[in-house]
Amino acid sequence: MIFLSTKAYKHDFRGPEIVWLIPAWYRDKWWLKEDIKIDCTMEQMMEMIDTSLIIGVDVTAISSLTKTTAAGIVSIKTISQTPAEFLEIMKKQIQRPQYKTYTLNNYMAYAYDAVWAMGLVLNRTATVLREKNSSKRLEDFTYTDGDLYDILFQEMAATAFFGASVSVLG
């Protein structure tokens, strides 16, 4: 990541319109540590970090709770109802020839929940737009559209469900 950050800086691939997603398993304040392999100054590294999002999750495993997940409310037979059922379905799926290079890992439940969160937020946002008789649609979203951004943000904050990994709260 450090090498990539310095290359990105040198090629001007940075700034407020570019957000780097950085895993949180690096040592504390790694961007402040002097390293002869890094050809950026500390100030340049700080500039990269200022527009980065450091993501850290506790990847302990799939939830051991037996509550029904958000996916369980859908009438699709292949979608799991509890985290244990989710794990069993994933074990079966990776046996299929097209998935032979995949392995089970602790991130899969988080990715699954992230997709569900975004789907629920988009559905909620579309409902709000319809209820307001807005001429805007999700397809009209642009990064400069403050009104649609506000609705998406509010709906993300209001979204809560039990997922395959944890209880997801907006």
Separation CA 4–CA 85 (nearest Å): 39
Separation CA 93–CA 122 (nearest Å): 27
Amino acid identity of residue 131, one-letter, is: E
Task: Count CB neighbours of 79 within 10 A.
Answer: 17
State yes or no: pLDDT of 163 exceeds 80.
no
How confident is the model at residue 2, as a pLDDT? 55
Closest to 76 in 3D by CA, of 111, 114, 119:
119
Averaged pLDDT, 68-77? 50
Share of the chain above pLDDT 90, in %: 16
Residue 135 binned pLDDT confidence (cut-offs 50, 70, 90): very high
Amino acid identity of residue 114, one-letter, is: A
User: What pTM, to 2 d.p., does this model score?
Assistant: 0.53
Separation CA 1–CA 23 (nearest Å): 9
How confident is the model at residue 83, as a pLDDT? 76
How confident is the model at residue 87, as a pLDDT? 79
Residue 63 or 111, more confident: 111
How confident is the model at residue 27, as a pLDDT? 65
Averaged pLDDT, 103-115? 79
Q: What is the 3-state secondary structure (H, E, C) of the chain?
A: CHHHHHHHHHCCCCCCCCCEEEECCCCCCHHHCCCCCCCCCHHHHHHHHHCEEEECCCCCCCCCCCCCCHHHHCCCCCCCCCHHHHHHHHHHHCCCHHHCCCCCCCCHHHHHHHHHHHHHHHHHHHHHHHHCCCCCCHHHCCCCCHHHHHHHHHHHHHCEEECCCCEEEC
CB distance 159 to 121 below 8 Å: yes
> pLDDT (tens digit, 9 = 90+) per residue, 43-71?
888 887 787 777 665 545 555 555 666 66
Residue 76 binned pLDDT confidence (cut-offs 50, 70, 90): very low
How confident is the model at residue 21, as a pLDDT? 73
Residue 126 binned pLDDT confidence (cut-offs 50, 70, 90): very high
